[in-house]
């Protein structure tokens, strides 16, 4: 700080020679952190203060930056030397928070008698934040009212010094009397809303300060209406214990000036906004901010109850809304998992599926009846989890429903909720396939496994929870809920045929042989009559009569030995072709290991209804098809006394052959030269037999019971001829 001599009127207006200098010690904050906004730069705040008896003209005190303090406060702040010398004092508010002063006449005398520079600077206080404003005002009611009536060019003696920091810390200093009657300085710090952009002192002991969001006013005068009648007051000359800022609803004011009281009785503010707009604001705080009326105990209690009730309602609403948000977040997470699972399953193609379901069958005895059970194993090999909304649907479709689409469907669907099936986990489900209540088992049976994701359960439950009694949640519109019930993802389709259901009680060792499989539940009257027959007599049931008097029905199919060798080369090397073929046919039967161990080429089993079924595999030579010589073939023959069982077994064998021929045809296999004329003759013979079948079936519908017996016998013979074709699969 440098002090220069002021030129006399008529001389060069430039400052005269330097008559004093002192250096103020400040702390410079370190540079900002790279990558973050730089800290705002603050300049020092300077103002000139003079005692009330000073003969220095008012216009020489620095204009708006200078003011006069009462002698009592001036002497307490700056000491007896400044009071005796009647010297103006420069107050400095520094960016590091220091509030210090320099006595100008002491600075002048230091030129002739240099002394310690530190003695020239006195630190009054430290706000610990950048100083934004230094001012003074009248706080005593009578003095403040008189000060408001002064003319603008009249000198006002302030009794309170105010300093305001950037973050809202405010310092007020006033001369006060202690308990012993001694005059002492009273310092109070207040916390105001920040950050503070600018401030100004107005009449009536009011301080105006601006923040980015508002312009506020606080009142330091005693008995102020802004404090309210309930605020305790200090002793004479004291400062209020706390300040309550009042909002003026003006934002982003960067510079502010308060004019004296107007003729209308209000205060006029001149404000400059951050956008460069200059505004004048006329205020009448006495009428706009009346003091609050005194509240009775009853009204206070009622007000407290209303506030507590409002707090409770808001807390309840927050709780319900938080629950709703949690449900929707959970639904979004579930939808994301469902999308990932769907994409993984649909993009797997023919390769291994990330989520698979395998089906196997086995016989189990329940009470007095054997039951065919299907075991479905759902395995999660993906990295996703199947949680809420997922269901495993298993549909069991019998042959009667699959073949006749117009008939009443006898399909049964089982739904098993999938709960918490994480990666690597598996879920096993066992369900009965038959026989049913009528004792029959319609083969083949198709078991279809499908994953179902319920959009209604997940999305609908989150948007419109049924168990919520929240009166605050708006009802979800119906068009927001998904139109579809859910998403179906097929996993597997497994067909259970006669070859899988055959049982072979004769294959078990003698010491571990299980009792013969039980057939369907029998009529108790028939069981009673059988127990009453004479020992040694033959049973008289329908199955026994059919087995004794009717020849077994036979069906056969011939396959090229070369075709079978090409299809069975993997896993059957070194095994005779007939044995390998029988093992391939019974690959999904529980007895395949015993058949493989004994190298069997023929076997006799028991159908689900108790009838015997005989499978025979042998090598034959076809001599009439190829002119180059006989074709080596394998004949697969099925024998049974039950026409229904032989049809089912024959259907199962043909189905496996169709799959094998399709796979080999895709590999480009070629057939040998054949006698086309011979094939045409065989085809014509088959066409003739098929026409005869249609004629016989039509005749059965019109003939009486006596003549229909011969027709049925002939129809059975034609069917046997059709099941013994002279053709071969090549």
User: What is the mean predicted confidence (pLDDT) over 472-477?
Assistant: 50
- Given strand 390-397, what is the order of strands in its sheet? 412-417, 390-397, 445-454, 486-496
The average pLDDT across 266-293 equals 77
CA distance 143 to 72: 15
pLDDT of 574 strictly over 90: no
pLDDT at 149: 54
Q: Given this model, what pLDDT does residue 141 score?
A: 67
Break the chain down into helix, strand, coil percent, rounded to 5.
Answer: 30, 30, 40
User: 32 falls in which pLDDT band (50, 70, 90)?
Assistant: low
Among 427, 433, 454, 420, smallest CA distance to 358 is for 427
**Which whole-number Å values give the CA distances from 114 to 117, 164, 655, in the listed order?**
8, 34, 120
Q: Are strands 98-103 and 121-126 parallel, antiparallel or unpaired?
A: antiparallel
Report yes or no: 672 and 730 within 8 Å, Cβ to Cβ.
Answer: yes
Residues 65, 67, 72: CA angle, nearest 5 degrees: 145
DSSP string, 96-136: TSEEEEEEHHHHHHHHHS---HHHHEEEEEE-SS-EEEEEE
| pLDDT value of position 140 | 78
Tell me how far apart the alpha carbons of residues 190 and 213 are, in angstroms, rounded to a whole number: 20
**DSSP string covering 160-220, please?**
EEEEEETTSEEEEEEEEE-TTS-EEEEEEEEE-SS---EEEE-GGGEEEEE-SS-EEEEE-
CB 627 within 8 A of CB 614: no
Record the tokens describing residue 580, joined without a space.
């390998």
DSSP-derived 3-state class of residue 465: coil
Tokens of 421: 């099936």
Q: With a cut of 80, say whether residue 118 has pLDDT above it.
A: no
Average pLDDT, the chain: 81
Q: What is the pLDDT of residues 187-206, one digit of tens each?
A: 999 999 989 999 999 888 89
Report DSSP state, residue 613: E
Give the number of residues written for the chain: 730
Q: Please say if the pLDDT value at position 637 is more than 90.
A: yes
- Cβ contacts of residue 542 below 8 Å, gap of 6+? none
Structure confidence at residue 378 (pLDDT): 94
* pLDDT of residue 30 exceeding 80: no
Task: Compute the average pLDDT of residues 687-692.
Answer: 93
- The CATH number for 355-463+484-496, chosen from 2.40.37.10, 2.60.40.10, 3.40.50.720, 2.40.70.10, is 2.60.40.10
pLDDT at 231: 43
CA Rg value for the chain = 54
Higher pLDDT, 550 or 84: 84
Q: Tell me the C-alpha distance between 127 and 95, whole Å.
A: 10
CA distances 454 to 44, 147, 354, 463, Å, are: 70, 80, 20, 14
What would the mean pLDDT of 479-503 be, rounded to a whole number? Answer: 83
- Distance CA(187)–CA(211), nearest Å, equals 24
Which of 291-305, 435-449, 524-538 has the least mean pLDDT? Answer: 524-538
Query: What integer is the mean pLDDT of 557-580?
Result: 87
pLDDT of 545: 53
> What residue ranges do the domains of the chain occupy?
45-141+154-222+238-283, 355-463+484-496, 550-674
Give the pLDDT mean for 116-126.
82
Nearest CA-CA partner of 608 in 431, 380, 435: 435
Mean pLDDT value across residues 340-350? 84
Q: Out of 426-430, 655-659, 709-713, which region has the weakest mean confidence (pLDDT)? A: 709-713
3-class secondary structure for 546-600? HHHHCCCEEEEEEEEHHHHHHHCCCCCCCCCHHHHHHHHHCCCCCCHHHHHHHCC
pLDDT of 397 > 80? The answer is yes
d(CA 357, CA 490): 10
List beta partners, residue 670: none
Q: Which two tokens stand for residue 443?
A: 């083969």
* Residue bearing the bigger pLDDT, 30 or 670: 670
Beta carbons of 239 and 139 less than 8 angstroms apart: yes
**CA–CA distance, 513 with 4 (Å, rounded to integer):** 127
Cis peptide before 355 (omega within 30 of 0): no
Quickly state the pLDDT bin for 233 (edges 50, 70, 90).
very low
**Structure confidence by residue, pLDDT tens digits, 581-614:** 999 999 999 889 899 899 899 999 999 888 899 9
Strands 45-51, 66-69: parallel, antiparallel or unpaired by DSSP? parallel
Q: Tell me which range, 3-7, 18-22, 422-426, is most confidently predicted by mean pLDDT.
A: 422-426
Q: How would residue 472 be classed by pLDDT, with cut points 50, 70 and 90?
A: very low
Q: Enter the tokens of residue 546.
A: 């059919």
pLDDT confidence tier of residue 499, bands split at 50, 70 and 90: very high
Q: Which of 15-19, 105-109, 512-516, 636-640 reaches the highest mean pLDDT?
A: 636-640
Contact call for residues 78 and 122 (beta carbons, < 8 A): yes
Confidence class of residue 573 from pLDDT cuts 50, 70 and 90? confident
DSSP letter at 410 equals -
Per the CB < 8 A criterion, the answer to whether 248 and 283 are in contact is: yes
Confidence at residue 57, expressed as pLDDT on a 0 to 100 scale? 55
Q: For residue 542, is pLDDT > 80? A: no
pLDDT beyond 60 at 552: yes
Closest CA to 207 of 147, 280, 256, 140: 256
The 3-class secondary structure across 237-273, one letter per residue, is CCCCCCCCCEECCCCCEEEEEEEEECCCCCEEEEEEE
- Residue-wise pLDDT for 346-393, tens only, equals 887 777 889 999 999 998 887 778 888 999 999 999 888 888 889 999
* 164 has pLDDT over 50: yes
Higher pLDDT among residues 183 and 471, named by residue: 183
Listed residue (730, 700, 701) closest to 715, CA to CA: 700
Distance CA 411, CA 446 (A): 9
Share of the chain above pLDDT 90, in %: 32
| Average confidence (pLDDT) over 423-448 | 86
Query: What is the band of 492 on the pLDDT scale with cuts at 50, 70, 90?
Result: very high
> What does DSSP assign to residue 641?
S
Mean pLDDT of 89-102: 92
DSSP H helix total and E strand total for the chain: 18, 30
486, pLDDT greater than 50:
yes
Q: How far apart are the first and last CA of the chain?
A: 115
For residue range 48-83, list pLDDT tens digits in order.
999 887 766 545 554 556 889 998 999 999 988 888
Which tokens is 435 given? 């026989």
- Distance separating alpha carbons of residues 238 and 124, to the nearest angstrom: 19
Check: CB of residue 120 under 8 Å from CB of residue 107.
Answer: yes
- 153 vs 39, more confident: 39
């Amino acid at each position: 700080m440098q002090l220069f001599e002021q030129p006399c009127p008529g001389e060069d207006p430039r400052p005269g020679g330097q008559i004093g200098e002192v250096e103020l010690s400040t702390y410079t904050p370190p540079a900002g952190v790279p990558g973050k906004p730089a800290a705002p730069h603050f300049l020092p705040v300077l103002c000139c203060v003079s005692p009330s008896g000073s003969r220095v003209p008012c216009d020489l005190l620095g204009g708006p930056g200078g003011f006069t303090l009462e002698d009592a406060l001036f002497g307490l702040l700056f000491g007896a030397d400044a009071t005796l010398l009647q010297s103006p004092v420069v107050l400095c508010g520094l960016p590091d928070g220091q509030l210090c002063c320099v006595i100008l006449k002491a600075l002048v005398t230091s030129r002739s008698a240099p002394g310690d520079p530190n003695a020239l600077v006195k630190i009054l206080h430290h706000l610990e934040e950048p100083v934004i404003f230094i001012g003074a005002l009248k706080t005593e009611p009578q003095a403040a009212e008189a000060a408001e009536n002064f003319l603008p060019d009249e000198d006002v003696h302030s009794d309170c010094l105010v300093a305001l920091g950037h973050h809202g810390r405010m310092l007020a200093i006033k001369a006060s009397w202690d308990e012993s009657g001694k005059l002492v300085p009273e310092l109070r710090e207040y916390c105001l809303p920040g950050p503070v952009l600018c401030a100004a002192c107005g009449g009536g002991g009011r301080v105006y300060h601006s923040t980015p969001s508002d312009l506020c006013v606080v009142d330091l005068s005693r008995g102020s209406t802004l404090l309210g009648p309930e605020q305790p007051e200090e002793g004479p000359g004291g400062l209020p214990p706390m300040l309550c800022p009042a909002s003026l609803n003006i934002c982003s004011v960067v510079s502010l000036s308060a004019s004296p009281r107007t003729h209308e009785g209000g205060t006029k503010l001149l404000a400059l906004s951050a956008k460069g707009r200059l505004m004048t604001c006329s205020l009448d705080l006495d009428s706009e901010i009346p003091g609050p009326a005194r509240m009775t105990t009853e009204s206070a209690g009622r007000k407290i109850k209303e506030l507590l009730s409002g707090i409770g309602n808001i807390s309840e609403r927050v709780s319900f809304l938080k629950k709703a948000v949690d449900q929707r977040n959970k639904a979004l997470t579930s939808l994301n998992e469902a999308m990932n699972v769907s994409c993984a399953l649909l993009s797997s193609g023919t390769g291994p599926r990330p989520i698979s379901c395998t089906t196997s069958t086995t016989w189990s005895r329940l009470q007095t009846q054997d039951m065919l059970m299907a075991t479905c194993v759902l395995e999660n090999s993906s990295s996703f989890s199947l949680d809420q909304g997922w269901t495993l649907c298993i549909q069991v479709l019998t042959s009667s429903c699959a073949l006749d689409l117009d008939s009443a469907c006898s399909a049964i669907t089982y739904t098993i909720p999938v709960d918490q099936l994480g990666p690597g986990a598996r879920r096993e489900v066992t369900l009965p396939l038959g026989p049913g209540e009528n004792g029959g088992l319609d083969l083949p049976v198709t078991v279809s496994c499908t994953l179902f994701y319920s959009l209604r359960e997940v999305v609908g439950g989150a948007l419109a929870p049924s168990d919520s009694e929240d009166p605050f949640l708006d009802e979800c519109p119906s068009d927001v809920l998904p139109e579809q019930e859910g998403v179906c993802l097929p996993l597997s389709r497994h067909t259970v045929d006669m070859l899988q259901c055959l049982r072979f009680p004769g294959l078990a060792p003698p010491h571990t042989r299980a009792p013969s499989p039980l057939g369907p539940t029998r009529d108790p009257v028939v069981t009673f009559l059988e127990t009453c027959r004479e020992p040694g007599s033959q049973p008289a049931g329908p199955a026994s009569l059919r087995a004794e008097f009717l020849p077994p029905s036979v069906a056969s199919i011939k396959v090229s030995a070369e075709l079978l060798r090409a299809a069975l080369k993997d896993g059957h090397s070194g095994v005779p072709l007939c044995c390998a073929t029988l093992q391939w046919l019974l690959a999904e039967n529980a007895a395949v290991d015993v058949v493989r161990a004994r190298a069997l080429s023929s076997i006799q089993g028991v159908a689900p209804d108790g009838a015997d079924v005989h499978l025979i595999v042998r090598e034959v030579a076809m001599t009439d098809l190829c002119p180059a010589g006989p074709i080596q073939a394998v004949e697969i023959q099925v024998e049974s006394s039950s026409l229904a069982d032989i049809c089912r077994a024959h259907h199962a064998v043909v189905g496996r052959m169709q799959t094998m021929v399709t796979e080999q045809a895709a590999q480009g296999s070629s057939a040998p030269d054949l006698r086309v004329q011979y094939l045409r003759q065989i085809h014509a013979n088959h066409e003739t037999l098929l026409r005869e079948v249609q004629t016989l079936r039509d005749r059965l519908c019109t003939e009486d019971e006596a003549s229909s017996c011969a027709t049925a016998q002939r129809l059975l013979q034609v069917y046997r001829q059709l099941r013994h074709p002279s053709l071969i699969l090549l």
